Amino acid sequence: MWILKTNSHMTHEELWRNALQEIELATTKANFITWFKQTAIADLRDGIITLSVPNGFAREWLKSKYHKSILRAIRNLNNDIKDVEYVIGKYQPPEESRRRPSAEKRYAPEPGVVIPDEEFSLRDLSVDPDTNLNPRYVFETFIVGSFNELAHAAGQSIVKNPGTTYNPLFIYGGVGLGKTHLIQAIGNEMMKQNPTRKVRYVPAERFMGEIVEALKNQEMSRLKEKYRSVDMLIMDDIQFIARTEKMQEEFFHIFNALYERNKQILISSDRPPKSIPTLEERLRSRFEGGMIADIGQPDRETRMTILKAKADQKGIVIPEEALWYIADSIKTNVRELEGALNRIVISAKLTNSPITIEETKRILTYISQEPRRFTSVKKVLKAVAEFYDVEEKALTNHSRKKEVVKPRQIAMYLLREEMKSSFPFIGEKLGKKDHTTVIHACKKITNELKNNPMIENELQMIKEKIYEV
Ligand code: ADP
Ligand code: MG
């Protein structure tokens, strides 16, 4: 506990630390961490405080959104303060906290504590190079309810009788409802029960990239062979291939080759075949000739079951009441359900306190108040360029200057993660780069995120900007 001194004998550090305590009470945890860590009083002269902040973004943000609260908090402690100015400065941890490392933890998360998103940090981890399947997607962790039971049952059935009963099996449903999880679980189960069978999972976009690559290097026949030799082909998000005739044609040939030999084909899409306008008739009729199963939205009980299971998997205790609160607040998307749970867990870890219903409500209110997320390529490029202080043009031309390499990779990453753009599209927008360059960039940032918590903060700040209205 700090003793609150209400006079002007406080050191700058004490003054700011006490002010931060007050500010913290009035902000959400996420905002507090994002905007107030690495801030310090750099100077106090003639009643004017100069606050040093880590970058231009933080400066603008604090000035426009928090100036009043900051001033109020400081004036409560020292009435002589007239104003606060903001400068970008290098952050020096306060003297005291250097001696007493625990003090700083109050507003700077320990490296590694802030996990942006469980799914995210685990993604791509230990993907099997032969099957391209991620071992984390299994039936054991897939919750079944009326919203997905048909798709689930059909999936189990094709593991038992691949290539015969339901071929192709076409599973469709909205974003974040478990398509990828389910089709990968089917693949993983198939491998478990028949280790000698060849299973290949491929997102349609990656498939398209491979084709482009193969055409360029005259390796088409090898690529075709690779796909024709599998026992089960799993293609995720097939709606993407409907964008070009060439891709549909290549896929059509592979499809036929597999189908004729009774090999199982498993497809996911964000909508049914008849609702993909550019899907060729011959593919549509093939798809409709098999089994089509949809995944709907989970009902309240199922949402609760999912939350309980996810909390169990993390080994954390959350009051039932809080779980119901989440289940009642987020209705349409399992990924968001999981995301909300993660945010609550992270916040509890940061404050090192048990999860309560009050805290849960506060975080969910914060999440629901986040503006509807719309952005554009233009906004992303602008925000990235501003943030790293490079010219926007430099991101989209062929400049190899060292200082644009990282911003460009960040831009690619954001276009991918936030706008779900395809790799070729991103490459095109960022100076006609090859899609493999984009894939490499996204992987690189994903990896860095695991090791360097600062990147997460940078991304957070850029994201705030790209969704600004
Ligand atoms: P989609 O491919 O439909 O966009 P995903 O399969 O990526 O959705 O699912 C999003 C997240 O929600 C994943 O982390 C996944 O594990 C989880 N998830 C989705 N459905 C379920 C379910 N029925 N049971 C457990 N977890 C699920
Ligand atoms: Mg998916």
**Residue pLDDT, tens place only, 157-171:** 999 999 988 999 999
Sign of CA dihedral 201, 207, 209, 212: positive
Q: What would the CATH number be for the domain defined by 7-107?
A: 3.30.300.180
Nearest to 187 by CA among 265, 245, 71: 265
Rounded to whole angstroms, the Cα distance separating 53 from 57 reads 9
Q: Is 425 helix (H, G, I), strand (E, B) or coil?
A: helix
pLDDT of residue 172: 95
C-beta 181 within 6 A of ligand 1 = yes
Q: Are 466 and 418 in contact (CB under 8 A)?
A: yes
Between 187 and 417, the more confident residue is 187
pLDDT of residue 370: 56
Rounded to whole angstroms, the Cα distance separating 72 from 78 reads 10
C-beta 239 within 6 A of ligand 1 = no
pLDDT of residue 63: 85
Ligand 1, residue 141: give the atom nearest the CA.
25
Domain at 300-369, CATH class: mainly alpha
At the fourth CATH level, which superfamily is domain 377-466?
DnaA protein, C-terminal DNA-binding domain (1.10.1750.10)
Between 9 and 302, the more confident residue is 302
Query: What average pLDDT does the segment 290-318 reach?
Result: 94
Ligand 1, residue 298: give the atom nearest the CA.
23
Residues carrying CATH 1.10.8.60, the chain: 300-369
C-beta 175 within 6 A of ligand 1 = yes
Residue 155 in this model has a pLDDT that exceeds 80: yes
pLDDT of residue 373: 61
Query: What topology is assigned to 139-295 in CATH?
Result: Rossmann fold (3.40.50)
Q: Where are the alpha helices (DSSP H) in 332-434?
A: 334-351, 357-369, 377-388, 392-396, 402-419, 423-429
% of residues, the chain, pLDDT over 70: 88
Query: What average pLDDT does the segment 413-430 reach?
Result: 89
pLDDT of residue 97: 44
How many CB atoms lie under 10 A from the CB of residue 14? Answer: 18
Residues carrying CATH 3.40.50.300, the chain: 139-295
pLDDT of residue 4: 42
Least confident segment among 90-94, 277-281, 392-396, 431-435: 90-94
Query: What average pLDDT does the segment 331-337 reach?
Result: 90
C-beta 177 within 6 A of ligand 1 = yes
C-beta 334 within 6 A of ligand 1 = yes
Residue 334 in this model has a pLDDT that exceeds 90: yes
Between 40 and 373, the more confident residue is 40
- Tens of pLDDT, residue by residue over 93-143, are 665 444 443 333 333 333 333 333 333 333 445 789 899 999 999 999 999
Least confident segment among 92-106, 152-166, 315-329, 345-359: 92-106
Give the confidence band of 51 by pLDDT, cuts at 50, 70, 90. very high
Q: Return all residues near 407 (Cβ < 8 A) that are at least 6 apart.
A: 384, 385, 387, 388, 390, 394, 395
Residues carrying CATH 3.30.300.180, the chain: 7-107
Query: What average pLDDT does the segment 293-304 reach?
Result: 95
Determine the number of helices (DSSP H) and then strands (DSSP E) in the chain: 23, 8
Ligand 1, residue 174: give the atom nearest the CA.
3
Between 162 and 468, the more confident residue is 162
